[in-house]
């Protein structure tokens, strides 16, 4: 259609440049003559410089990236810190849950328990457990001052940190550098940095808990090593301890492994375009 418009001849616009009141009509005529002399001539109409643009009658909100479908949006309804409500364009994914990656410590782990959706966890349902793990991790990160978000879809649940317009900044000398806040997140949670294995220090540090954590850390590292080839000697996979109870009565409920390497992702949005399309 664009090619057709560029070559379209119409009496309303195809006028004599010497008699035309159109802006820059003579310059366009000279440009066409030069193109013909260079042997690049083709059928060019008065709208040969036409280009694509959006419909100015549609609101700006129509042109946001395609949002998640209604089913996924419903899965995230009622989530206190949903990634769908993150105001930024990009965020840093620090944990991904696709199955039973959490090592439970209770003898009653196999019994059905309530998930944060208010439903009973189905036995051997990794999706619901993944959602619960993401929720617990997001809450723990928030309690320690990190701007964490959670997101759930049909195949996995994720936890992210931060809300950014861009995760990099271009310097006057042309270099592209990571935003300082993003660098802090990466250094804290990336397994490649020699930072504390448990970034949220100060919880569960009694002797008995430390011993249980050490045992489970070894198992988590083995699990990560089996599932992610990028885990090599010298890596320091990070984890977060989830405690049950408070004060002296607090007991270790589970440890949650973080992704080996945090990565920047685009923030998913609700589908505004679909809403407008439905009004047509």
- pLDDT category of residue 67 using cuts at 50, 70 and 90: confident
Q: Is the residue at 60 inside a domain?
A: no
Q: Is the residue at 127 inside a domain?
A: yes
137 and 166, same structural domain? yes
**pLDDT tens per residue across span 151-198:** 998 889 999 999 999 999 888 888 889 999 999 999 999 988 888 888
In sequence order, the 6+-apart residues with CB closer than 8 A to the CB of 47 are: 5, 6, 8, 13
Report the distance separating Cα 69 and Cα 157, nearest Å: 16
9 pLDDT higher than 90: no
Of 163-167, 170-174, 217-221, 257-261, least confident by mean pLDDT is 217-221
249 and 136, same structural domain? yes
Q: Is the residue at 245 inside a domain?
A: yes
Mean pLDDT across the chain: 76
95 and 24, same structural domain? no
Q: Is the residue at 123 inside a domain?
A: yes
Q: Is the residue at 180 inside a domain?
A: yes
In sequence order, the 6+-apart residues with CB closer than 8 A to the CB of 54 are: 63
**pLDDT tens per residue across span 17-29:** 565 555 666 676 6
Mean pLDDT of 121-142: 84
112 pLDDT higher than 60: no
Q: Is the residue at 5 inside a domain?
A: yes
Beta strands in 129-248 (DSSP E): 148-152, 157-164, 168-170, 176-178, 239-244
Closest C-alpha among 229, 218, 215 to residue 260: 229
Which residues partner with 82 through β-bridges? 150
111 and 20, same structural domain? no
pLDDT of 113: 36
78 and 45, same structural domain? no
Report the distance separating Cα 197 and Cα 186, nearest Å: 13
200 and 151, same structural domain? yes
Q: Is the residue at 24 inside a domain?
A: yes
216 and 137, same structural domain? yes
Domains contained in the chain, number: 2
- Considering just the CA atoms, what is the radius of gyration of the chain in Å? 28
Q: Are 205 and 213 in contact (CB under 8 A)?
A: no
227 and 88, same structural domain? yes
Which residue range forms the structural domain that includes residue 29? 1-52
106 pLDDT higher than 50: no
183 and 219, same structural domain? yes
185 and 120, same structural domain? yes
73 and 46, same structural domain? no
174 and 122, same structural domain? yes
What is the signed CA dihedral for 15, 17, 19, 20, rounded to 10 degrees? 70
Q: Is the residue at 57 inside a domain?
A: no
What 3-state class would DSSP assign to 167?
coil
Closest C-alpha among 104, 84, 94, 91 to residue 270: 84
């Amino acid at each position: 259609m664009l090619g057709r418009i560029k070559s379209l001849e119409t009496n309303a616009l195809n006028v004599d440049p010497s008699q035309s009141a159109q802006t820059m009509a003579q310059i366009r005529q000279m440009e066409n003559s030069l193109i013909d002399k260079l042997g690049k001539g083709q059928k060019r109409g008065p709208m040969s410089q036409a280009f694509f643009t959006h419909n100015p009658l549609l609101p700006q909100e129509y042109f946001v990236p395609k949002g998640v479908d209604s089913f996924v949006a419903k899965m995230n309804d009622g989530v206190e810190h949903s990634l769908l409500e993150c105001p930024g364009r990009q965020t840093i994914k620090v944990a991904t849950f696709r199955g039973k990656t959490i090592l439970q410590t209770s003898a009653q782990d196999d019994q059905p328990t309530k998930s944060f959706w208010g439903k009973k966890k189905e036995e051997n349902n990794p999706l619901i457990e993944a959602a619960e793990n993401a929720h617990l991790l997001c809450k723990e990160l928030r309690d320690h001052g990190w701007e964490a978000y959670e997101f759930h879809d049909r195949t996995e649940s994720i936890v992210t940190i931060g809300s950014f317009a861009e995760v990099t900044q271009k310097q006057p000398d042309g270099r592209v550098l990571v935003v300082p806040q993003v660098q802090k997140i990466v250094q804290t949670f990336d397994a490649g940095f020699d930072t504390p294995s448990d970034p949220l220090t100060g919880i569960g540090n009694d002797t008995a808990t430390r011993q249980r954590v050490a045992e489970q850390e070894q198992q988590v590292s083995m699990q990560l090593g089996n599932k992610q080839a990028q885990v090599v000697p010298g890596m320091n996979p990070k984890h977060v301890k989830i405690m049950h109870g408070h004060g002296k009565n607090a007991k270790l409920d589970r440890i949650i492994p973080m992704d080996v390497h945090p990565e920047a992702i685009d923030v998913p949005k609700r589908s505004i375009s679909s809403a407008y399309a439905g009004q047509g």
